[in-house]
Amino acid sequence: MERPVRVIVLATKNPGKLREIRQVLRDEPVRVAGLSEFGPIIEPDEDKDTFAENARDKALYYARATGQWCLADDSGLEVDALGGEPGVRSARYAADACPPGAPRSQIDAANNARLLARLAGVGDAERTARFVCALALADPQGRVLIETRDTVEGQIGHGPAGENGFGYDPLFYVPKLGCTTAQLPPERKNAISHRGKAVRRFAALLTELLGNA
């Protein structure tokens, strides 16, 4: 007898994230649904101090709103020379420099420009940084079922390089690969990225959870 297919809502409107996570979970008895399938839902505030707390809050919020299990992520960049900035403010680091309703590409460019300005005069050895991804799965009853976290280490370059990826990818240089994450093809980036590693870790825990359900 086949196991029933479990619906898991991904708490994002980003089609790239949806495709990536569907690919990793393709062998699980789940259907990963996008938020767009559930009509308009007011977005919650992301006002916590850590990626894990924000992911947990989003998962619980959207699980209640949709009545389904919900997977949420919060991710961003931590730069050691800046005391961990931009951290949980990664996506909106320079939002104040952009007009209301600015496209994501314009906000990304402003974020990158601000980061480079903040690191002006900082030498290569002090430009260490990491991408962080925290994931949380919650159910409509208010229980957090799975939490994972992973990172990828690198350093911030002195200027953008590469056309792939998004966000801070053009500035995030991975010494062992000799390039930025924006210079990697998508499949190679997913193999080493913070989100790719966190989702694969999540998939292993999901297999265990569904087996015990």
The residues annotated as belonging to the active site are 74
Considering only CA atoms, which of 197, 79, 213 is closest in space to residue 148? 197
CA 124 → CA 79, 80, 119, 130, 199, distances in Å?
A: 12, 12, 10, 14, 31
Mark out the alpha helices in 15-166 (DSSP H runs): 15-24, 51-66, 104-118
β-strand pairing of 30-34 with 128-138: unpaired
Three-class secondary structure of residue 103 per DSSP? coil
* 10-12-15-21 Cα dihedral, nearest 10 degrees: -40
- Separation between Cα atoms, residue 85 and residue 67, nearest integer Å: 35
Angle at 27 between CA 23 and CA 31, to 5 degrees: 70
Nearest one of 126, 134, 127 to 50, comparing CA atoms: 134
